[in-house]
Amino acid sequence: MPATKISDIIVPAVFNPYIIQETNRLDAFVQAGIVAPDKAFDILAASGGTIVNMPFFNDLTGDSEELSDAAALAVNAITTGQDKARLHMRGKAWGVNDLAEALSGADPMGVIASKVAKFWVGERSKVLLKSLAGIETAIATNVHDISALVGALAVISGTTTLDAKQKLGDNASKLKGIAMHSATYTKLQKDNLIIYLPTADANVQIPTYLGYRVIVDDSCPVDAGVYTSYLFGEGAFGLGNGVAPVPTETDRDSLAGEDILINRQHFILHPRGIKWNEAAVVGKTPTFAEIATAANWTKVYDGKNIRIVIFKHKLA
């Protein structure tokens, strides 16, 4: 019996939508509602071009006027702003040796898809966290940095976290989740501040902290004992999945005897309210370093309407 090849298993037209579905299912930021898949963003991501323009209406401002029979009301205009997002275009190829174990599974395509999806979850997490590094200067009003204080004043606790959420003032109720390094999570566990809530089927215990859903990710920055945690509101990041010209294909290197799986992703993963500038990008798509470059970002929403708080703290 001839050996099963990747090309015998993968149907590209079926595989790519399956990858996107699996990636969303496995992504903790999506499950927490922090990254919100948006059909409008899907359309924008597939509409061509690398910069996506997203105009918006500003809030109405000014005071109401006293009614009078001697003077008419002044007519005021509603103003607009412009948010811009970047289309990310990334890809990865794997040889059959990397997938040999997967090919022996009962559902080979499902096993391969889950492995590829886990890879893209990690890549999207990198884009998200690099974006957070890049926007830090632009949203300075949303940064709560206690790391230079002395003793307990510099340490994450219930009190200092509540001080961080206050950065959004009367909009702080929009904050629903917090992402943190595993060392921060362990410290809060030791302080008995992590509460676990069962899912509807009671099969999974969801960790919460001060009512915020916790996402543990060791990609959260650590620098000389200073940890960065992030408070998020629902839909703080918008997600749109585009379509690469050839999203999935298989190949074979006959001389090497190697089957190859190639997967390409076009997507928007954008922090709402902070405009992408394209001020410092060399190639066709930004590198992780360029995503983290402050010059590429400008705040266009009022800080209280940006559903992100950056919290810098110590653990002891």
Question: Token pair 């204080």 is at which residue?
Answer: 149
pLDDT at 100: 67
Question: C-alpha dihedral over 185, 187, 193, 194, to 10 degrees?
Answer: 30
DSSP one-letter code for 47: S
Please tell me the predicted confidence (pLDDT) of residue 256.
75
Residue with tokens 């705040």: 299
pTM metric for this prediction: 0.88
For the chain, domain boundaries: 6-59+79-313
First to last CA, the chain: 62
For residue 4, how far is the Cα from the chain centroid?
37
**pLDDT value of residue 80:** 73
> Two tokens at 40?
């409008």
* CATH architecture under which domain 6-59+79-313 falls: Alpha-Beta Complex (3.90)
Tokens standing for residue 164: 């961080």
Residue 1 is predicted with a pLDDT of 44
Residue 111: how many other CB atoms lie within 10 Å: 17
Checking 9-13 for CB contacts under 8 A at 24+ apart, the result is 9/103, 9/108, 9/109, 9/112, 10/109, 10/112, 10/248, 10/250, 10/261, 12/246, 12/247, 12/248, 12/249, 12/250
pLDDT string in tens for the chain (316-residue length): 456 678 778 888 889 899 999 999 999 999 999 999 999 899 989 888 888 887 767 777 788 888 888 888 888 877 777 889 999 999 999 887 666 666 666 677 788 888 999 999 999 999 999 999 999 999 999 999 999 999 999 999 999 999 999 999 999 999 999 999 999 999 999 999 999 998 777 677 899 999 999 999 999 999 999 999 999 999 999 999 998 999 999 888 877 778 889 999 999 999 999 999 999 899 999 999 999 999 999 999 999 999 999 999 999 9
Handedness of CA 163, 164, 170, 173 (dihedral sign): negative
Assign 107 to helix, strand or coil: coil
What does the alpha-carbon distance between residue 244 and residue 236 come to, in Å, rounded to a whole number?
25
CA dihedral 183, 186, 190, 195 (to 10 degrees): 140
Q: What is the pLDDT of residue 32?
A: 95
Report the distance separating Cα 113 and Cα 82, nearest Å. 37
